[in-house]
Amino acid sequence: MSTTAFFTIFALFTGCICALQPGFKARITPKGLRFLSELGIRELKEEISKIKIPDYSGSHHIKIIGTVDYSLTNMHVTSFNIPSASITTKANIGVTISAGGLSAAMHGDWQYRIHDIFHIHDHGSFDVSFSSVSISLTVRIGMDSTGRPTVRSQDSDCNFYVGDAHVRFHGGKSWLYNLFHRKIESKLKSSLNSKICEVVVNLVNTKLAEQVSTLKTVISISGTAEIDYSLLSPPIFNSSLTTSHKGEVYQIGHHTEAPFRIPIIPRDDDMSRMVLMWMTDFVPNSAGYVLHTTGFFQYNVTQDKIPSDIKVSLNTSDFAVQFAIPQIAKLYPNRMMQVNLNTTSPPKLSITSDKVGANVNGDITAYIIQPNKSLTYLFTLGATLNVSASIGFRKADLTWNSSYVSADLKLLHTAIDDFKIDSLRSVVQLVCRVYIIPEINKRGEKGVPVPSFRDYAFVNPVVEQKEGLLKIGTDIRYQKNWLLDPYEESSTPSYNAQNEGTYSTESSLQGEESSVMPLDWENSAA
């Protein structure tokens, strides 16, 4: 994970001013910011440790000896230690990561020639230690015209300062360098100062910007529907980072707004988990609207579509049909039936603190399948199906499992004389239990995705039911190599309550001890 990964997490939660009410909100709490800052520091350290300092050559006149032409080559950073760092939110701009009291070390080769009184050529190596080092970097977070986040930094957003430098020369007549070591130390400090910011700013504007550009804000949830998590407003930066997202499901290629109100997400000051999310019932209801209008809920049930483990027969001569509709058994003996199910309005989900329920209004139309495969119409029932649901969370998806509650029936049309529906209620109940509910639960097993990142896992998520919304609280873990999770090491995070919006993490990052943590996306950009 890199500075790229750290700020990419932030970039998910940004946007532009818009008058729309959000269907989905998210918050990174102080605990989450501390976690991400530690990962960001690791990447910053890793990138700086890769830096190659440009070769440098010069000349220096020494009394008695003469003019010394010298060069410093093959210079590279060997360690970069960050004992503490902080993250400061900047309203309407972005975030700043700062670290002070840093130390660094560099290794390189030296050589010199003297052409005046003496003719000497020599070479060796050197090590330089830097102390009283500090760095700060601001990442500007914005949004493009499609609602996708953008990130950038400019030269003035980076400040890197080296207070002291101490050089030790090895090999050959290295004592000669000690005669003008202060000049060399000054040059090395200047080189490191300019190179660090060049590398860090370039990292933001290339690697990080490229990753953010692939962030998926529109996610397919079926062959005909997609959920839009584009950003509606700029993030609110205080002691946490809170963002508002559209949170609406559309038909792919046809973005028509669902014709109902988005409930207001009430204020919630909870900071107990790293990440908090609020999904209003507008999200699943807009999904129901799209799936209804695209015919997703149209099912033609024939015998071959009933699971083999469900002992239900659509043959008119079998007991179930004879008992429920004896007239059909007499008119069309030993014929197979087809039952068409169709929603007449979008399914409506309701969420309260006590339960999650839904009602589905639809038609049930029955036909006889004739030997020549033609259909003979029998009757049409109007039905209202009431179900309850239990909500879960798996990986990065909200899942559900529905249970049958009741079904209200009325006769709309019939081609059968003296047709009574009382005996059909048990049959419809059976159809709901063995076919409709399992079909709903197939979708529920797949779930509805929330914004997420590949290589990051939600840890111990908890789903709470509120009036008109679901609240998800979760911690996060970098799961590609959990041993590198900073919360598994001896670092001691602390929140500076006296400086709201600033988060400190104590750590010691030695040269060989960290690894690159690349951040990729769960899916490609829509």
Top CATH class, 298-346+353-447: alpha beta
Cα 110 from Cα 18, distance rounded (Å) = 59
Q: Pick from 12, 140, 39, 29: which is nearest to 480 by CA?
A: 39
| Nearest-10 Cα torsion for 446, 451, 454, 455 | -110
Token couple for 393? 């969370």
Q: Are strands 66-81 and 52-53 parallel, antiparallel or unpaired?
A: antiparallel
Q: How far apart are the first and last CA of the chain?
A: 24
pLDDT for 427-475, tens place per residue? Answer: 788 878 887 888 889 888 988 888 876 677 899 999 999 999 999 999 9
For the ranges 249-258, 307-316, 488-497, the lowest mean pLDDT is seen at: 488-497
pLDDT at 517: 28
Share of the chain above pLDDT 90, in %: 34
Q: Give the total residue count for the chain.
A: 526
Where in the chain are the domains? 30-216+486-521, 298-346+353-447
DSSP letter (8 states) at residue 263: P
Please tell me the predicted confidence (pLDDT) of residue 18: 38
The CATH superfamily of 30-216+486-521 is: Bactericidal permeability-increasing protein; domain 1 (3.15.10.10)
Q: What is the helix (H) or strand (E) element at residue 339, kind and residue range?
A: strand 336-343
As a whole number of angstroms, the distance between CA 376 and CA 165 comes to: 93
The pLDDT of residue 180: 65
Q: Is the pTM of this model over 0.85?
A: no
Please tell me the predicted confidence (pLDDT) of residue 38. 81
Q: What per-residue confidence (pLDDT) applies to 427?
A: 79
Confidence class of residue 176 from pLDDT cuts 50, 70 and 90? low
Instruction: Tell me the average pLDDT across 211-237.
Output: 84
Give exposure, 93-109, as e/b (b: 16+ Cβ within 10 Å).
ebbbbbbeebbbbbebb
Q: How many CA atoms lie within 13 A of 451 on its CB side?
A: 35
**DSSP for 347-375, written as a single string:** -EEEE-SS-EEEEEEEEEEEEEE-TTS-E
H or E, element range at 434? none
Asked if the model's pLDDT at residue 13 lies above 70, the reply is no
Residue 262's pLDDT band (cuts 50, 70, 90) = very high
> What is the reported pLDDT for 178?
63
The alpha helices in 179-270, defined as continuous H runs, are 181-203, 209-213
Closest CA to 476 of 396, 403, 400, 421: 396
Q: Report the mean per-residue pLDDT for the chain.
A: 81
Choose from 121-130, 188-197, 272-281 the range with maximum mean pLDDT. 272-281
pLDDT in tens, 49-103: 888 888 888 887 766 666 778 888 999 999 888 887 888 778 888 888 888 888 8
21 by Cβ neighbours in 10 Å (0-12 / 13-18 / 19+) ranks as: middle
What pLDDT is attached to residue 360? Answer: 93
pLDDT of residue 372: 95
- Tokens at 117, concatenated: 């009184």
pLDDT band, very low/low/confident/very high, at 363 (cuts 50, 70, 90): very high
